[in-house]
Chains A and B, each alone.
Chain A
Amino acid sequence: DTGVSQNPRHKITKRGQNVTFRCDPISEHNRLYWYRQTLGQGPEFLTYFQNEAQLEKSRLLSDRFSAERPKGSFSTLEIQRTEQGDSAMYLCASSLLRVSTDTQYFGPGTRLTVL
């Protein structure tokens, strides 16, 4: 399977704990995106990388959230001191920058439940 992969698929944690999610994009895709989706809503943009550079962050990305993409390959999203409001599906997508608009390919997501 050469699609976007995300690990873990499910994570249950207690409030106040730190969690880290991993995203492996499609090989050679230079752009990587993180989105968050709560029940009944569409995904909301969090941040994106072009290669290893983080180029845009949403105001939704509080200082408890940090994302990295070392070496421009896989990415990690860490949430520190989790809160119940962080419970959501965290989606990763990747794309290949072209001359015009690019298509984003999404992974299956990591479902986070904060107790």
Chain B
Amino acid sequence: DAKTTQPNSMESNEEEPVHLPCNHSTISGTDYIHWYRQLPSQGPEYVIHGLTSNVNNRMASLAIAEDRKSSTLILHRATLRDAAVYYCILRDFGNEKLTFGTGTRLTIIP
């Protein structure tokens, strides 16, 4: 599985945008970029995924670099409930499992 690199931790102020980076320089052409998050004492939760184009949903936006070697998860207006560990995962089409790294622990400051 292709590897991703994320910062161990980040802090952001409440009600401000948050940009969570992910590097994946060895990404292959068929790898989808997935983001999941894990709130304290809960199982992981799907956030968003994309292949080549930027994606938006009600939770977040995913900005994918033109060469696909990096991506950024954008939370437009962070709330205290967004405090979680965020995982950036590459998943090849046809590969059923998710390979989690250690993720980025996001702390929201009130």
Q: Which residues of A contact B (CB under 8 A)?
A: 4, 31, 33, 35, 40-45, 48, 55-56, 58, 91, 93, 100-101, 103-109
A-B contacts, CB under 8 A, total: 54
A58-B100 Cα distance, complex, nearest whole Å: 14
Q: Which residues of B contact A (CB under 8 A)?
A: 32, 34, 41-46, 49, 85, 87, 91, 93, 96-103
A100-B32 Cα distance, complex, nearest whole Å: 10
In the complex, which residues of chain A have a beta carbon less than 8 angstroms from the beta carbon of B91? 101
Contact present for B101 and A109 (CB under 8 Å): no
In the complex, which residues of chain B have a beta carbon less than 8 angstroms from the beta carbon of A100? 32, 93
Contact present for A43 and B93 (CB under 8 Å): no
Instruction: Name the residue of chain B whose CB is nearest to the CB of A46.
Output: B97
> Which single member of A40, A56, A101, A107 contacts B43 (CB below 8 Å)?
A107
Contact present for B93 and A104 (CB under 8 Å): no
User: Given that A40-B102, A42-B103 are contacting pairs, would A103 and B46 also be in contact in the complex, using a CB cutoff of 8 Å?
Assistant: yes
Instruction: Name the residue of chain B whose CB is nearest to the CB of A95.
Output: B96
Contact present for A101 and B32 (CB under 8 Å): yes
Contact present for A91 and B44 (CB under 8 Å): yes
A50-B45 Cα distance, complex, nearest whole Å: 21
A41-B8 Cα distance, complex, nearest whole Å: 11
CB distance from A103 to the nearest CB of B (A): 5
A108-B42 Cα distance, complex, nearest whole Å: 5
CB distance from B86 to the nearest CB of A (A): 11
CB distance from B88 to the nearest CB of A (A): 11
User: Given that A43-B98, A43-B100, A101-B49 are contacting pairs, would A91 and B43 also be in contact in the complex, using a CB cutoff of 8 Å?
Assistant: yes
User: Given that A42-B87, A42-B103 are contacting pairs, would A105 and B46 also be in contact in the complex, using a CB cutoff of 8 Å?
Assistant: yes
Contact present for A41 and B45 (CB under 8 Å): no
User: Given that A91-B43, A103-B46 are contacting pairs, would A42 and B100 also be in contact in the complex, using a CB cutoff of 8 Å?
Assistant: yes
